[in-house]
Structure 1
């Protein structure tokens, strides 16, 4: 099963509900637990979707078994904290909002006032990997994450697909999980060098998204 990033996500009613933003995974077991979906609309939200809600996934689209309303009620991926422009500490939301206050997102604050800072709520013990995360061979950077291939029976990663524009031009290079040494915060470390990866089979890239 493909779990591509920055592709269209549709809900059970076949309505487009957003785009895939990143995946959350256990760096020890290399099991993907959630897909983060950036919702459509005037106000973009990011929701954490358990992988068992994915019913179909191709390199070009992901289909969920939930409705748009159910998606909106899933756990949000981000919350907002406020940074005091004059100090170093964050202010809690109630300290700068009063009863009945309404904010449009994104919204501005007075010059030199508290600044809204979005914070990702990554579950303890897990990592978030975004599209474009760096991929490092033993002898240096080789490219960026485009998508993961996952065993649908246990949600464990089987392969990493390098993003277009890596050292070998316009083709996909699929790297097996055995060549992944460890996963960091938006960095994937391999246990092979650039020469070994250059020998791996690749396929020409054909993309319908940016």
Structure 2
């Protein structure tokens, strides 16, 4: 299987439901457990789609199994819960939090709305992905062991039998003059916005130069 940045996701009867926004990876086993589909034509919220629901993938096209009844039960990626604080947990509210008084023009009457204290609360956001997994964003930065931003993830490749990530494709740019395939064994740490490698930038630069040289030799032979 392969997952490209911004790949569109379709139902089995080719209705577009959204686009790939993140991939959920277990950093220990390197298994891809879910993908996060960005809300779109059919999904009103970002949805967590288990890998078992994916039928096939092409470069920029992901097809799901099942029908709409299967998709209705998909969990939202994020859920917000309002937690009311008790008297001990609540901070001391100053007058600046009080509800303002309102003035009404004559003929209607004057008055004010008394301040009615509201119970303080905070918003807790929970993500519906397995514990210890990481929801890696599309286009996440790739950082070498010596701290250099060598490129961004463009493409992710997964073994269809084990669901384990095998390699990913890094974009070319200021540092890398060629796209570069990075084996999963070179990854030291997964984060939401970046992936840290266990190899240095010099090795990656040599790899990219080698690819460039091989391409030039191939063109000369044509």
Q: TM exceeds 0.5?
A: yes
Specify every segment of 5 or more residues in structure 1 that has no aligned partner in the other structure, as ranges: 89-112, 205-210
> What are the residue-to-residue correspondences of 1:46-57 with 2, within 5 Å?
46-57=46-57
Structure with bigger helix share is: 2
> What are the residue-to-residue correspondences of 1:131-142 with 2, within 5 Å?
131-140=138-147, 141-142=149-150
> What are the residue-to-residue correspondences of 1:14-93 with 2, within 5 Å?
14-41=14-41, 44-81=44-81
Specify every segment of 5 or more residues in structure 2 that has no aligned partner in the other structure, as ranges: 85-89, 92-119, 216-222
Write the distance in 2 (CA, Å) between the matches of 1:77 and 1:13.
24
Structure whose CA Rg is larger:
2
Structure with bigger strand share is: 1
Report if aligned partners of 1:17, 1:68 keep a CA contact under 8 Å in 2.
no
Aligned residue for 1:145, secondary structure, equals strand
* 1:130 positional shift: 0.6
Write the distance in 2 (CA, Å) between the matches of 1:62 and 1:43.
15
Report if aligned partners of 2:48, 2:129 keep a CA contact under 8 Å in 1.
no
Give the TM-score taking structure 2 as reference length.
Answer: 0.69
4+ residue stretches of structure 1 with deviation over 6 A? 113-117
Q: Structure 1 residues 38-47 or 178-187, which shifts more? A: 38-47
Deviation string 1:83-124 (CA, Å, 9 cap, x unpaired) is 99xx88xxxxxxxxxxxxxxxxxxxxxxxx989786533321
What is residue 182 of structure 2 aligned with on the other side?
175
What is residue 156 of structure 2 aligned with on the other side?
148
Give the TM-score taking structure 1 as reference length.
Answer: 0.72
Report if aligned partners of 1:174, 1:200 keep a CA contact under 8 Å in 2.
no
Alignment coverage as a number of residue pairs: 177
Q: Structure 1 residues 177-186 or 9-18, which shifts more? A: 177-186
